[in-house]
C-alpha cells in the first residue's frame, strides 16, 4: 500500500505537524508500506528524495507567505513537473494535514478527482492569528471558505485531540474521531539519556542545584515566550534559570533585551531539546494560539517533566486535573508569575505530577497505537 501524506511544512522545519507527519510516515514504512510526503519546497533541498527512513519526499514550489508560515502553491512549469511526480506514486490513500493550507485544498480536490480515498486531519482549536483585528477577520473568513471547499471534496475528517474535533464543528464539520498526536516514549527517553547527552547546567556554567524551567518550541509571538520571560523575571525565583530552546522571528528581539538567568538557546537539535526536558524541573508553554495538541506536551511528559501551560487543545486530555499539571485559562503575565512561584515551591507536587502524566502518556498517546489506527482507516475508508 502507498500512503501519501500532504503537509504544507515538513522537516527540517521543526514543529508539531512536521513531526506528526514524520513519525507516522516512518512507521508506515516500517510496517512494510510505502510512505510519500508531499510538502513545500525549501532553498537548497531537492524536488524529490528518499530519506534514511525510506520516506519518499516530494517538494512543491511555493510562495513562502508570512515568513514561510503560510506557503502558497506557485503555479507554473516547475509545479506541474513536481505535481506529476506526486501522482506517479499512485497513492492508495492520502492523509491531508490541516484544513486551511492551499496545498490541503489542492490535495483534497485531486483525491476526489482521481477517486483516491482521503482523510483530513486537523491540528488546531482556533483561527490562525494574523496579527491584527482586520487581518484576523479576513483570515477567519478564508478559513470558512476553505472548510466549505474541503467539505465538497471529502467527508472524512479527524482531529489530533477531542478539542480539535469540537472546534471542527465551528465549520459545520462532524469529525469521525481522533488520530491523536503522540510520541514514542522509549525513543524520547533514549535520546534524552544517550551517552553523549549534553549537561545543560554544566554547558551554561550553572550550579548543579539550579532548578530549570524550560520552553521548547518556535519563538513566535503566539507561543507566549515574551510573556514567559516577563513572568519569570517578576517571580524572582531563587536558584532558578529559564532555558528557551527554539528559533523564530521573535528571537532577535528577545536576545536584545534578555534579563538575567534567562538563556535563549536558539535553534536546538532535537536530541538536545529532549535532554533539556529530561533535565528540567518544569516545562512551561504559555501559548495563546489555539493549538490542537502540542507535541512538546507529550515530549515533556515522556521525559518525566512537570508541566505548566495555558489551556489549549489536548491539554485537558493529557492533564485531566491539577494533580497531573497546572493549566491557566489565558496567557497573562501576573497569573503566570504566580503559577511559576506555586510550581517551583513544591518539589513533591512536581515529582508526583510528572509521574502521573508519564503513566497516562504510556497508556494513551503512542505512535504505534496511532499508526495501527491509520493503517486500519487506509483499508476501510471509502472513496
pLDDT computed for residue 383 by the predictor: 59
Residues 124 and 205 in one domain: no
Residues 176 and 204 in one domain: no
Residues 77 and 221 in one domain: no
Model confidence band, residue 330 (pLDDT cutoffs 50, 70, 90): confident
Tell me which residue range forms the domain holding 252: 185-364
For residue 314, is it left (φ>0), alpha (ψ between -120 and 50) or beta?
Answer: left
Percent of the chain with pLDDT over 70: 99
Residues 318 and 247 in one domain: yes
Compute the C-alpha angle 319/7/97, nearest 5°. Answer: 50
Q: What is the per-residue pLDDT across 43-71, written as a single tens digit (0 to 9) for each?
A: 999 999 999 999 999 999 999 998 788 89
pLDDT computed for residue 276 by the predictor: 98
pLDDT computed for residue 48 by the predictor: 97
Here the CATH number for the domain that contains residue 321 is: 3.40.50.2000
Report pTM: 0.76
Distance CA 278, CA 274 (A): 6
Cross-strand pairs, 310: 328
Q: What is the per-residue pLDDT across 370-382, written as a single tens digit (0 to 9) for each?
A: 999 999 999 998 7
Residues 118 and 222 in one domain: no
Distance CA 243, CA 284 (A): 10
Q: What is the per-residue pLDDT across 298-319, written as a single tens digit (0 to 9) for each?
A: 999 999 999 999 987 778 889 9
Cβ–Cβ under 8 Å, residues 121 and 159: yes
pLDDT computed for residue 163 by the predictor: 87
Q: What is the per-residue pLDDT across 3-30, written as a single tens digit (0 to 9) for each?
A: 999 999 999 987 789 989 999 999 999 9
pLDDT computed for residue 290 by the predictor: 60
Comparing 97-101, 312-316, 365-369, which segment has the lowest mean pLDDT?
312-316
Residues 290 and 258 in one domain: yes
Q: What is the per-residue pLDDT across 221-241, written as a single tens digit (0 to 9) for each?
A: 889 999 999 999 999 999 999
Residues 308 and 376 in one domain: no
Number of domains in the chain: 2
CA neighbours closer than 13 Å in the CB half-sphere of residue 188: 28
How much is the average pLDDT of 256-266? Answer: 95
Residues 300 and 370 in one domain: no
Residues 287 and 331 in one domain: yes
How much is the average pLDDT of 122-149? Answer: 89
Amino acid at each position: 500500500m502507498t500512503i501519501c501524506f500532504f503537509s504544507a511544512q515538513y522537516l527540517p522545519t521543526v514543529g508539531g505537524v512536521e513531526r506528526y507527519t514524520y513519525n507516522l510516515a516512518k512507521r508506515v514504512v516500517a510496517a512494510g508500506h510505502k510512505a510519500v510526503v508531499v510538502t513545500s519546497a525549501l532553498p537548497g533541498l531537492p524536488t524529490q528524495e528518499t530519506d534514511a527512513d525510506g520516506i519518499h519526499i516530494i517538494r512543491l514550489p511555493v510562495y513562502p507567505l508570512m515568513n514561510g508560515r503560510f506557503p502558497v502553491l506557485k503555479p507554473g512549469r516547475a509545479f506541474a513537473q513536481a505535481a506529476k511526480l506526486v501522482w506517479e506514486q499512485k497513492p492508495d490513500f492520502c492523509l491531508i494535514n490541516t484544513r486551511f493550507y492551499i496545498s490541503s485544498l489542492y490535495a483534497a480536490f485531486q483525491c476526489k478527482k482521481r477517486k483516491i480515498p482521503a482523510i483530513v486531519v486537523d491540528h488546531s482549536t482556533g483561527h490562525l492569528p494574523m496579527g491584527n483585528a482586520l487581518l484576523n477577520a479576513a483570515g477567519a473568513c478564508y478559513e470558512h471558505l476553505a472548510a466549505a471547499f474541503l467539505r465538497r471534496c471529502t467527508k472524512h475528517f479527524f482531529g489530533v485531540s477531542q478539542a480539535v474535533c469540537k472546534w471542527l464543528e465551528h465549520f459545520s464539520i462532524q469529525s469521525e474521531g481522533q488520530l491523536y498526536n503522540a510520541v514514542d516514549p522509549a525513543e524520547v527517553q533514549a535520546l534524552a539519556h544517550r551517552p553523549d547527552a549534553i549537561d545543560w547546567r554544566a554547558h551554561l556554567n550553572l550550579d548543579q542545584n539550579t532548578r530549570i524551567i524550560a520552553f521548547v518550541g518556535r519563538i513566535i509571538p503566539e507561543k507566549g515566550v515574551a510573556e514567559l520571560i516577563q513572568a519569570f523575571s517578576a517571580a524572582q525565583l531563587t536558584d532558578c534559570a529559564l532555558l528557551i530552546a527554539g528559533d523564530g522571528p521573535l528571537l532577535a528581539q528577545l536576545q536584545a533585551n534578555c534579563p538575567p538567568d534567562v538563556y535563549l538557546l536558539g535553534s536546538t537539535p532535537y536530541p538536545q531539546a529532549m535532554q533539556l526536558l529530561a533535565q528540567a524541573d518544569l516545562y512551561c508553554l504559555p501559548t495563546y494560539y489555539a493549538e490542537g495538541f502540542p507535541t512538546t506536551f507529550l515530549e515533556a511528559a515522556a521525559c518525566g517533566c512537570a508541566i505548566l501551560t495555558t489551556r489549549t487543545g489536548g491539554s485537558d486530555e493529557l492533564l485531566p486535573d491539577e494533580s497531573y499539571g497546572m493549566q491557566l485559562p489565558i496567557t497573562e503575565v501576573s497569573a503566570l508569575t504566580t503559577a511559576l512561584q506555586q510550581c517551583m515551591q513544591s518539589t513533591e507536587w512536581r515529582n508526583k505530577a510528572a509521574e502521573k502524566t508519564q503513566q497516562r502518556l504510556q497508556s494513551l498517546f503512542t505512535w504505534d497505537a496511532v499508526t495501527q489506527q491509520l493503517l486500519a482507516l487506509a483499508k476501510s475508508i471509502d472513496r
